[in-house]
Structure formats: C-alpha cells, structure tokens
Structure 1
Amino acid sequence: MAVMWLIPLLWAVYTSLRPKADTDRYGYFSIAGRFDLGNYFAAWNQGGFAGYFLNSTLVTIPTVLLTLFFASMMAFAVSRFSWRFNTTLLIMFTAGNLLPPQVLAAPVFELFKLTQLPYSISDSGTLLNQLFGVVAINTAFQIGFCTFVLSNYMKALPLELSEAARVDGAGVWRQYIGVVMPLTRPALAALGTLEVIFIYNDYFWPLVLIQSGDRLPITTAINNLQGQFLSNYNLLAAGAVIIVIPTLVIYLALQRQFVAGLTLGANKG
C-alpha cells in the first residue's frame, strides 16, 4: 500500500525534473535525457505561486487555530463535566459532519451576499470575496470533527486531575488552560496536521466564495500552468510538487505528535 501511494508522487517528481523536449523525444517512460530544476522555476514564475501561497497561508493558519480553540473548549465542556445537554450538543456537533458542504453551497453563497459589512472591513461590502469569509465557513465545518476527536481524547484523561484542581481552588478556565490542554498536545498536534492538510487542499469553498483571481488559494494556481491548446505535463508536475511541499513539511515536523495522538488508547497500562 505504501508503494502504491508513493508511485504517483515519485512519478510526478521524476517528470518534473525532465525538460519537455526530452520527454517529447524519448517518451515519458524513458530515462534518457537530462534532469534539472528548470520546470520548477518556470512553474513558480508563470503560476504566480508566491501570491497564492500567501492567500493559502492567510486562510489556513487562522482557520486551524480557531478550529482547535473552539473545538477544544466544546470538547472540554462535554467531556469533563456532566450536565443536561452535553451529550445532545456532542451529537449535534458530530452530526454536522454528515452534511456534505456542496448541499449548503447555494444558501451559504446567498447568506454571504446578503450580509452587509462596512467598506472599511470588506471592500465588497459583504462577506463575499473576502479571505476571512473562507476562514469562517471552514472553521464552522471543521469544528464538529475536531470536537468529536478531542472529546474522546479528553474522556480518556483521569477525572481525578480535574477534581484535584478543583480542591486546590482552580476554576473552570484554570482547569481548561492549566490541566487539560497541556495533556491534549498529542491530539492537538494530530488534529492540527490533519486540519492543515484539509484546509490547505480545500478547493470548493474558495471557488464558491472568492470572486477575485488574485485572492484564490494555491490549489487553484495549477490552472495558470495550463496552455490554451497544449498542456506541458512536466510543468504541471513541477507545480503539483511545489504545492504539496508545505503539507509534507508540516507532517514531518509534527510526525511524532501525530503518531502519538493516533495511538492513544491503543493499549492499556
């Protein structure tokens, strides 16, 4: 399975390092010809990747931080305290994951169009064509999944920790910030890695809610490398490799915490 997953990526890297003239002459399945980074420089300049990377950064980082913050508070409330509606709220948040985003595309678009904002905040006067609008809708759709995962993680933490904190006079916020959140770092790292990948690769909501081409995320930059009558697949492969690099860096940086978060509860003792 690992080989099957790696073959397309390795093939894209291999193709991106070959000039188009060599693949036209020798074929894509040959090893003849030279290898260089020319396609990468051409893709970066032709695709305008710098601006698109900035747009993706302005959407991904706030969305991940807000999602983890709100989801952790919700998970803390439904997992560490027994009150009347905690299970009901958890079911509602979890059920939101069952609704496909495409079903809500039309009503969300109308809602954003009819929401009036001062021009000092939004140059369109509405939520449309604004990066913070994409941040808001992605945060809303991702909170349910993160709440479900974090609540299960927090339920595995001993309740005696919270009880001891209460005996020492710690309030709810102190228990949340000083006791529970430090212990959920592996889960937050795992979710953060997944959320970065989800949000960074999201193509649907920016395409629906952003109308200016210079505000679209990096996932749309590959279209700038398409020719009108002919496609340079070596150039497209280089662009695809450039786009995937940030997610690989995030995963490698948080790999240890990611695995620890996924294996919680795999064994007892």
Structure 2
Amino acid sequence: MTAVAAPPAPGTRTTTPTAGPRRGTRPARLLLHAVLCLVALGWLAPVLLAVYASLRPYQETARDGYFSLPRRLSLDYYRQAFTQSDMARHFANSLLIAVPGVAVTLLLASFTAFAVARLRIWGGVVLLTLFTAGNLLPPQALVTPLYVLLNHIPLPYALAGSPVLYDSYLGVIAVQVAFQLGFCVFVLTGFMRALPEEICEAAIVDGAGVWTRYWRITLPLCRPALAALATLEFTWMYNDFLWALVLVDDPDKLPVTSALNNLRGQFFTDDNLLAAGSVLVALPAVLVFLLLQRHFVAGLTLGAGKG
C-alpha cells in the first residue's frame, strides 16, 4: 500500500515552492545582444573599410568614393605592398624585437611576482608599488633621456651590432622590457596570491626547494595568466612605432610598423595600397591571438565565477 499524505490542518498556511530567479526577460536579452552587436560592428567598421579599400583600385575609389559598390576586386595591392616596402625583412625585425622581449619580460616578471607573492620577501609591498607606479610614467616624457642614455652605453659591436645601445635591436628590446615589466609583475603577483597556500606547503614538506616550487609548481599553475600576458605583450611590442622610430637609425633595422612609411610617396600616396600594407602588418598579431585565444580567455575569466 502507498501512504497518502494527510490534508493540512485547518488554519495552517500552505506554501508552494517557487522557481528560481529568472536570468532575464526575453526583450531585455534581445536588447543586450543588439547593443553588443552594434558595439562590435562599430569596432570592426574601420577594419572592414580598410580591407574593402585594399581590394579596389585607387582610380575607382577616387572616382566613385570608398562607400560605392565595387566594379572589380583583386589582390594586386597586397603583392605590391609586400614587395615595395621590403616587408619580409621588416617582419623579421619585428619578430627579433617582440619575441625575445616577451620572453624576457615574462621571465623577469614571474621571478619578481614569485618572490613577492610566495616567498613574502621583506619590502615586497614597496617593490610592487614601485613596479606599479612605473606604469604611470608617460613614455613620451622619457624619449629624450633614453635617447641620450642609449647613445652613451657602450657594447661590443658583435653583441649588439652597434658600438652603443642606440641603433641596435638590444636597445629597443631593453626599453620595451623596462616599460612592460611593471604591468606583468602586477598581474602575476595577484594571480600567484590567489593560488592555494597548501600546494607550496605540501611541496616544502616533501623537500622541494625554491627553484622547484617556482619552476615545477607555481609556473605551470600560472599558465593561463602567462598566455594572456604573452598575447597582450606581443601585440603591444609588435605594434610599437614610437621607440623604433626614436632609437633606430638604420632603415634596414626598422620594424614592420615603421616600414609602412615606405609606401608613402613624396608627392602622392595611394591610400588603398597603404590599407593593404596595414592589413598585412596586422595579420601576425591576429594570428597570435587566435592561437592563444583559449588560454587568453581562461586567464581573463579565471576567478570570475564562484563555487
């Protein structure tokens, strides 16, 4: 026999379970998606216009305007931009600056963040404050002092390709690392402080030294943050135009962002050709983001959810 629930006694109030909170009404979600689509379209509009212009002849856009329907589309401007600006050489120059710069920045930042967050060294808060305060300095205010300083630091010619740090890859890398180090230390310190203390305590009990705790325990756990920082730092160093323009004198050593000046004529500039060169320059940064997208998103959203 199955038991039958007794009816409630007279005078008692009965409650029925209510459903959980709704995530949002349908009109509100539609409005949110519409706003996000408009924002994304507004951000992509200049990029799409540059791609569209790079596929059309300049004579056609000069006659009909950039927002007219095309009569012919071709990739000729991309070939011309790649060959006329000697883009292959300048691509290699950008990689010679960005790749070692990112590696050295993340290595030094992880050393400092580990010492501040996990070893609790004396004066760690002051050190972190100094690194963070360095990000408040505008780079433009230091152009002249750095130009003079790099012209007076001697180096063996075989090491830097120049008797001084000025007009050398090493000088540009050193400046890039110095300006990006504070931000990376700040981010990695907060990330390492969020790691459970019990992991390092268990490693100490097992006899792990400082290097083992850093290299084999803490650093693998910081992979999402390192991937996110690597994406940002590569984009910033690769797209930099100021320091290469100030600290490099040899045109053959200029990065690819500076090579776009080779597409500008003395009396006339083909804007469609310049748009094609700009699209080619942007492709490596987009490729790096697509390759590290999963880790980049994980690094940004880690700790955003509870439970």
- Give the alignment's TM-score, normalised by structure 2: 0.86
Q: Map of 1:92-131 to 2, 5 A cutoff?
A: 92-131=130-169
Q: Residue by residue, what CA displacement relative to the aligned partner does 1:6-27 show, whole Å, maximum 9, x if unpaired?
A: 0000110010011122223332
**Identity fraction in percent:** 52
Q: Is 1:192 equivalent to 2:192 in the alignment?
A: no
Letter in 1 for 2:285: T
**Cα distance in structure 1, aligned partners of 2:67 and 2:145:** 48
Q: Distance in 1 between matches of 2:296 and 2:161?
A: 39
Deviation at 1:110, TM superposition (A): 1.3
**C-alpha distance in 2, partners of 1:21/1:103?**
42
Residues 1:234 and 1:117: Cα distance change in structure 2 (over 3 Å):
same
Whole-Å separation in 2 of the counterparts to 1:162 and 1:256 = 27
Give the letter for the 1:25 counterpart: R
Query: Which segment is superposed worse, 148-157 or 74-83?
Result: 74-83
1:259 CA drift (Å): 0.6
Structure with greater Cα Rg: 2
Partner of 2:252: 214
* Structure 2 segments unaligned to the other structure (5+ residues): 1-38
- 2: CA distance, partners of 1:69 / 1:122: 21
Determine the structure 2 residue equivalent to 1:43: 81
For 1:119, give the aligned amino acid: Y
In structure 1, what is the Cα distance between the partners aligned to 2:270 and 2:259? 15
Helix, strand or coil at the partner of 2:232 = helix
Q: Please give the alpha-carbon distance, in whole angstroms, between the structure 1 residues aligned to 2:303 and 2:161.
A: 49
Q: Is the 8 A contact 1:26 1:33 kept in 2?
A: no
1:88 alignment partner in structure 2: 126
More helix by share: 1
What's the offset of the Cα at 1:155? 0.7
Q: Which moved more, 1:95-104 or 1:57-66?
A: 95-104
Q: Which has the higher contact order (CA 8 A, sep 6+)?
A: 1
Q: Distance in 1 between matches of 2:205 and 2:56?
A: 67
| Structure 1 residue aligned with 2:106 | 68
Cα RMSD after superposing both structures:
1.0
Query: Structure 1 CA distance, aligned partners of 2:62 and 2:176?
Result: 42
Match of 1:255 in 2: 293
Is 2:299 the counterpart of 1:229? no
Question: 2:241 maps to which residue?
Answer: 203
Q: CA offset at residue 123 of structure 1?
A: 4.2
Number of matched pairs:
269
Distance, in Å, in 1 between the alignment partners of 2:71 and 2:168 is 46
Q: State TM-score, norm by structure 1.
A: 0.97
Aligned-partner Cα distance in 2 for 1:175–1:132:
31
